[in-house]
Structure 1
Amino acid sequence: MTISTISKPHERLAQILTSEMEAVNTLIRTRMASEHAPRIPEVTAHLVEAGGKRLRPMLTLAAARLFGYSGDHHVKLAATVEFIHTATLLHDDVVDESAQRRGRPTANLLWDNKSSVLVGDYLFSRSFQLMVETGSLRVLDILANASATIAEGEVLQMTAASDLATDEGVYLQVVRGKTAALFSAATEVGGVIAGATEEQVGALFAFGDALGIAFQIADDLLDYQGDSKTTGKNVGDDFRERKLTLPVIKAIAQATPEELSFWERTIARGRQEQGDLEHALDLMKRYGTLEATRADALGWAAKAKTSLGALPDNEIRTLLRDLADYVVSRLN
């Protein structure tokens, strides 16, 4: 298959970055090995080999390639980003008591919660070993801050999850923590290691931040109107798990006292009955919150594309622009 016949921008990026992605995958397999605890590579491989897009490490490689970087530190940083991402997934599935991830059983279901938490800790440790090897304190600072922000976002989501007072500002804070922080760190460190200017590094951060927000809003919207075969989730999983995502937050903000009682019973108290999901969807359609959420996702994708203006005009920048369109094209 040639690049010209590949339609999706992340697939075209993967094609351009084939040798570097192979080096990343080799490094991941090497560093997730454990001489004394064979369960570590077993659990890690279950997620790492699950066939994900590897979008975050690809962003690091693309950001470095954007500036013509010819070293190998971007490979270590891309592996670092993937380890951080995998560690957070292992921990998230324990916290959320999830049974499925990317259409497959979760690690905590196949093994147990203890294994998932401890292997996640191991991957965080490995990620810090890798980033130190680049010898860049700036890179270490960016990724350490991102790791702290991700954890903070997860705790905020847990405390705000079923609180009907959660507004769009808190939601955005959660999304910036749990999703956008790693996107922006992934692009930022690629630029730093390649010697980009401060303005260009700032533009890469802005791109990753906006792309991550658009990505998460689109995911939250697809939970209510997506295809379960494509998303790997059942429609309404977030509702059943009492998660206050943007479509629901927008509906609650406009709710009548009677509708507020419905949201209080189903989300805040978790007393859900047959037909509640359908009623929730009716309320979201009544107030146009699904369309409003879609408009927000498109707006963040547009911000991501605008931020690219300060970066070198080449094939990689074009693909990053296309990627911003792609993450919200799933909503069409």
Structure 2
Amino acid sequence: MSFLVTAKQLYEAPLPASPDGRLSYSSVLLSRLGPNRPDFEARLGRALAAAERRLQACSRDASDPRAAELTGHLTATGGKRLRTLLALLAAEFGDPSREGVVQAAVVAELVHVASLYHDDVVDRAATRHGASTANVLWGNRMAVLGGDWLLARAARLAADLVPGAFSLNADTANRLIAGQLRELAGPAPGEDPVEHYLQVTAGKTAALLAMALGVGALQAGAPEAVADILIEYGEQLGIAFQIADDLLDLSSPDAFTGKERGQDLLAGVPSLPVLLAREDTDPRDAELRELIEAGSAAGADWHLRVLELFPSSRATARAEAIMHQRLARAKGALESLPPLPARRTLDALCDFVAFRTG
């Protein structure tokens, strides 16, 4: 089966459920992108299942059952578990059976899930993974505290990792918070909005993917130079991944992404295509630029017209070009790594990210 067909199936066709009903996306992604090595896929599949069990158990550690319900809400509703998978793939460059590898993958996923609680409050998001967000169900204050609890839980688990992985987790938490603060503050006077976007994305998205790869490699005992290469790959992949999400928000039906189409647009999130459309002086995209600047003042359904105009705009083409540049850098970073099945899977993941927006 061709890669393009399988990528299409991952998003448009029902995925086969795993025995516990939670691992379908990451497991199928691994099987489709992997190098057709049953031993490799079986080993990663067992590790994914073990990480999922530990992830689900984390919220149950909360002493109050109401707190457990809150902190377990997003993990219970699903998710790609991409950070889990990246950590386990990175561990393949060391000893994947080494103690703490699964725990490192759980730490990476917990930090990511915690960030989603905070993001949904800031963005006033109503749904995620096809379910109501924690801020809708429990209110903003409870949702923020739920994210804080998960960050604290991740920090406690990270304390048992090797020193390099522990330090990387701490540094990433700092980058994540700095990225969120930069996003809320907006560009400084005279700062290029696109450069500001890339800095925010590096802190909020790329840092999490890089951390997942780094902690997985370091905990598995991979050489520090290998971990650095994987971290750089994650930095580039993360920025490309966020740009792909920006494009999907403007072009894909709700069923494709699990989020309301145009949600970021309505919330005023300065995504890359929107920023590029604002600075575009091409007369052919004048209507798009004017509608974005006017916002709701242009009418109740202004965003529907914007969603119609974006796919054929120069802003979309430019955003796609920047995404492909980052993916090329990610692929280039892998070239000096040994040709393990994990490397081929990481390389194929870049192609998959590109296909999502095709």
- 2:63 aligns with 36
1:265 and 2:290 aligned: no
1:296 and 2:322 aligned: yes
**For 1:123-202, what aligned pairs fall within 5 Å after superposition?**
123-134=150-161, 136-160=162-186, 167-202=193-228
Separation in structure 1 between the aligned mates of residue 80 and residue 318 of structure 2, nearest angstrom: 28
| 3-state secondary structure, aligned to 2:204 | helix
Which AA in structure 1 matches 2:152?
Answer: S
**For 1:111-126, what aligned pairs fall within 5 Å after superposition?**
111-126=138-153
Which AA in structure 2 matches 1:33?
Answer: R
Asked if 2 retains the 8 angstrom alpha-carbon contact of 1:63 and 1:188, the reply is yes
Separation in structure 1 between the aligned mates of residue 60 and residue 327 of structure 2, nearest angstrom: 38
Asked if 2 retains the 8 angstrom alpha-carbon contact of 1:84 and 1:124, the reply is yes
Asked if 2 retains the 8 angstrom alpha-carbon contact of 1:60 and 1:190, the reply is yes
Asked if 2 retains the 8 angstrom alpha-carbon contact of 1:203 and 1:307, the reply is yes
**For 1:269-288, what aligned pairs fall within 5 Å after superposition?**
271-281=297-307, 284=310, 288=314
Separation in structure 2 between the aligned mates of residue 111 and residue 211 of structure 1, nearest angstrom: 33
What's the TM-score once normalised by structure 2's chain length? 0.82
- 1:11 aligns with 30
Asked if 1 retains the 8 angstrom alpha-carbon contact of 2:123 and 2:269, the reply is no
Separation in structure 2 between the aligned mates of residue 242 and residue 323 of structure 1, nearest angstrom: 30
How far 1:102 sits from its partner (Å)?
1.5
How far 1:278 sits from its partner (Å)?
4.8
Which AA in structure 2 matches 1:242?
Answer: G
Which AA in structure 2 matches 1:110?
Answer: L
How far 1:37 sits from its partner (Å)?
1.1
How far 1:165 sits from its partner (Å)?
6.7
Gapped runs of 5+ residues in structure 1?
none
The one-character-per-residue Cα deviations of 1:181-223 (angstroms, maximum 9, x if unpaired) are 0000110111212222232122101111111111100000111
Which AA in structure 1 matches 2:146?
Answer: V
| 3-state secondary structure, aligned to 1:311 | coil
| 3-state secondary structure, aligned to 2:225 | helix
Asked if 2 retains the 8 angstrom alpha-carbon contact of 1:199 and 1:310, the reply is no
Asked if 1 retains the 8 angstrom alpha-carbon contact of 2:95 and 2:222, the reply is no
Asked if 1 retains the 8 angstrom alpha-carbon contact of 2:127 and 2:260, the reply is no
Separation in structure 2 between the aligned mates of residue 35 and residue 232 of structure 1, nearest angstrom: 28
| 3-state secondary structure, aligned to 2:335 | helix
Asked if 2 retains the 8 angstrom alpha-carbon contact of 1:34 and 1:40, the reply is no
Identity of aligned residues (%): 33
Separation in structure 2 between the aligned mates of residue 199 and residue 35 of structure 1, nearest angstrom: 38
Asked if 2 retains the 8 angstrom alpha-carbon contact of 1:10 and 1:55, the reply is no
Q: 1:22/1:234 Cα in 2 relative to 1: closer, same or farther (>3 Å)?
A: closer
- 1:322 aligns with 348
Q: 1:277/1:6 Cα in 2 relative to 1: closer, same or farther (>3 Å)?
A: closer
**For 1:71-110, what aligned pairs fall within 5 Å after superposition?**
71-110=98-137
Moved more, 51-60 or 273-282: 273-282
Q: 1:98/1:35 Cα in 2 relative to 1: closer, same or farther (>3 Å)?
A: closer
Which AA in structure 1 matches 2:177?
Answer: A
- 2:261 aligns with 235
- 2:245 aligns with 219
**For 1:249-264, what aligned pairs fall within 5 Å after superposition?**
249-255=275-281, 262-264=291-293
How far 1:176 sits from its partner (Å)?
0.7
Asked if 2 retains the 8 angstrom alpha-carbon contact of 1:57 and 1:82, the reply is yes
Which AA in structure 1 matches 2:322?
Answer: D
Separation in structure 1 between the aligned mates of residue 300 and residue 59 of structure 2, nearest angstrom: 44
Separation in structure 2 between the aligned mates of residue 308 and residue 241 of structure 1, nearest angstrom: 36
Separation in structure 2 between the aligned mates of residue 164 and residue 226 of structure 1, nearest angstrom: 34
How far 1:6 sits from its partner (Å)?
7.2
Q: 1:26/1:145 Cα in 2 relative to 1: closer, same or farther (>3 Å)?
A: same
The one-character-per-residue Cα deviations of 1:69-124 (angstroms, maximum 9, x if unpaired) are 32121111111111111111111112222111111111121222232122211111
Separation in structure 2 between the aligned mates of residue 247 and residue 83 of structure 1, nearest angstrom: 29
What's the TM-score once normalised by structure 1's chain length? 0.88
CA RMSD after TM alignment:
2.7
Separation in structure 2 between the aligned mates of residue 261 and residue 318 of structure 1, nearest angstrom: 44
